[in-house]
Amino acid sequence: MLRIVLFLVLIALAGAGAAWVADQPGDVVMTWGGFRASPSIPVFVLLLGLFAVAVVLLWSILTMLWRMPGRLRRRRHEKRHARGRHAITHGLLAIGHGDTALARRHAEAARRHAPNDPLALLLHAQSAQLEGNRDEAQRVFRAMAEREDTRLLGLRGLFIEAQRADDAVGAVMIAEEAIKLSPSSTWASHAVLGFRCARGDWSGALAILDSNLSAGLIDKQAYRRQRGVLLAARALELEKMDRDVARESVMEAVKLAPTLVPAAVLAARFESEAHQVRRAMKLVEAAWLANPHPDLADAYAHVKLGDSARQRLQRVETLAAKTPADKPGHVEGQFAIARAAIDASEFARAREVLAPYVSDPTQRVALLMAEIERTEHGDGGRARAWTLRAVRARLDPAWTADGYVSERWRPISPVTGRLDAFQWQTPVASLPSDKGATIESSAFEEAMLAAPPPKRVTAAPGLGPAEPPVVAPVPAPAAQDNSPPQAKEAAKEPAKEPAKDDAPAVTSSEQANPAPTPAESSPPVETPVFRTRADLGKPALAPIQAVIPIVRAPDDPGIDDEGPSDEFTEQIGTPKAHAKAQAGGWRGFWSRWGA
């Protein structure tokens, strides 16, 4: 609206000016040589305006002709630049969806139309990487590193190529050069920091960390945590070489990162050696509240040198009572109590704290139960069964970083080089296998765990040898039951005890050479007798008969249940009674006739 009003005002002023000029009387006389003209004032003003317009048009034409070559060159350059940009755009898109041929074609077009464009060099290098031409990619990245505007980008590309070629030294040299050019380069500082940590150059790593803080790459809280990690790593390395420096480093690390487990453990150890028991306990308790860990429990138990096992158990119970229930590692308190109870020979207490976890045990629970069975009763069978369950049990928490599981804490991840990457967590476990495809059935484990230790039957003096204990047979899996039908029927029939009055007299000759029976020709079906530690201390009154278990031991390949297929093959070491009971073959035929 304002523009319309202004336009109308200008039209009105122009009309008023033209009317004023037209109302002016008089003439204008112009004389040039023999030429004389005397137009009126309105005509003179009109002629003057036409002359000005003609001069402006002529000047514009001359200027256009003067500037035309430059405009043509500029327009041609803009066309080439537009074509280059078009090629770069579509080339990067082709790299994005993995079209190698199209990316190469657009890279050639971009290099032809826009040879000095940084993106054209980048497209050329990435297309060479996509094709697998590392030499060409390195050549382009070197060319980019020589330019001022693309130097960091070229160094970054050379760094990646050095990593792909497993040239760690070359990669670190490139990263250090990039840090000199730009201290705020994240990838370069990350690479140099990881390399110095891997080399054990903790002073250099701390210097890089200070540079990152100055450049604003990390905040103050992250800086304190990472500095504590580096100081703890240096203290762990210098613990046996320079204990003074190690103590100074770990004390500063605990102040910066009080929840760091290895720093708290080492600091508590130094304080315990200096007889500062309360300080050591406070350090462990602060870390335990944030992250319950077995090393913290062990350090808390041994915080006072010279204590007995029962005193250590009481101290661990005090620490376990402080475990926050909302922490994912709150079970570490129960496991620590069980460990201390086993050391103190309080096996009932250990079983009590492990009882909620026995139904679905982890590897640590199964191994602790195996140690209890082995130490308390000397029951090797039940200990072995728990050990087997530990093999297939769920995994316990461990130091894990980027999928890498380590037995000890490390300051950086060996996969990515990331600082403070290791966390105490459960690693990714393998999927459970099919029940029918397992080699060892869990029925044997359950039977070994459920069966109580057998009681020995002693005989009164003068009544002869004691009878072997009667043990109920253990049901074996169908896939492993290869006993003959006679043995299965004999196992189903209940054992008959002869009356004392009707018992036939047995001669000495019959005791020496008993008559063979069909049951003796097949493997017996009794389970092996597992002797406890209490039984091992008693004198054996009678020799224990050889018993063949139904299910073989997991690590015992055993022998074939069936005899050799060739009936004429001679069996070495076969007793005569067993040879007589065999059927088939000329030896069996003559054995029936007493040959």
Per-domain boundaries in the chain: 28-60, 397-429
Rounded distance between C-alpha atoms, residue 317 and residue 198, angstroms: 39
Residue 402's pLDDT is 87
Read out DSSP for 51-96? Answer: HHHHHHHHHHHHHHHHHHHHHHHHHHHHHHHHHHHHHHHHHHHHHH
Rounded distance between C-alpha atoms, residue 238 and residue 234, angstroms: 6
Q: Which burial class, exposed, middle or buried, applies to 373 when counting CB atoms under 10 A from its CB (0-12, 13-18, 19+)?
A: buried
Sign of CA dihedral 275, 277, 282, 287: positive
Decide: 135 and 158 in contact? Cβ < 8 Å. no
Question: Taking the model in full, what pTM does it have?
Answer: 0.59
Longest CA–CA span in the chain (Å) reads: 179
Residue 222's pLDDT is 92
Say whether 218 sits in a helix, a strand or coil: coil
Rounded distance between C-alpha atoms, residue 301 and residue 280, angstroms: 11
Which amino acid is it at 495? Answer: A
Decide: 266 and 298 in contact? Cβ < 8 Å. no
Residuewise pLDDT in 10s, the chain (595 residues): 888 988 898 888 888 888 887 777 777 787 887 787 888 888 888 888 888 999 999 999 999 999 999 989 999 888 888 888 899 999 989 988 888 899 899 988 988 888 888 888 888 888 988 888 889 999 999 999 998 888 999 999 999 999 888 888 889 899 989 988 888 888 888 889 888 888 888 989 999 999 889 888 889 999 999 999 999 999 999 988 889 999 999 999 999 999 999 999 999 999 999 989 999 999 999 999 988 999 999 999 998 888 889 999 999 999 998 887 766 557 888 999 999 999 999 999 999 999 999 988 999 999 999 999 998 888 788 889 999 999 888 888 899 998 889 889 999 888 888 889 999 988 875 434 444 433 444 444 555 555 555 444 444 444 344 444 444 444 444 444 444 444 444 444 444 444 434 433 444 444 444 444 443 434 444 433 334 434 444 444 344 333 333 333 344 444 444 444 443 333 334 444 444 444 444 455 445 454 4
Residue 429's pLDDT is 52
- Give me the helices (H) in 291-379, please: 294-301, 309-321, 331-343, 347-354, 363-376
Rounded distance between C-alpha atoms, residue 260 and residue 420, angstroms: 10
Say whether 284 sits in a helix, a strand or coil: helix
Question: Could you report the per-residue pLDDT of 411-444, keeping only the tens digit for each?
Answer: 988 888 888 999 998 887 543 444 443 344 444 4
Say whether 564 sits in a helix, a strand or coil: coil
Rounded distance between C-alpha atoms, residue 337 and residue 454, angstroms: 31
Residue 452's pLDDT is 53
Q: Which helix (H) or strand (E) holds 32?
A: strand 30-32
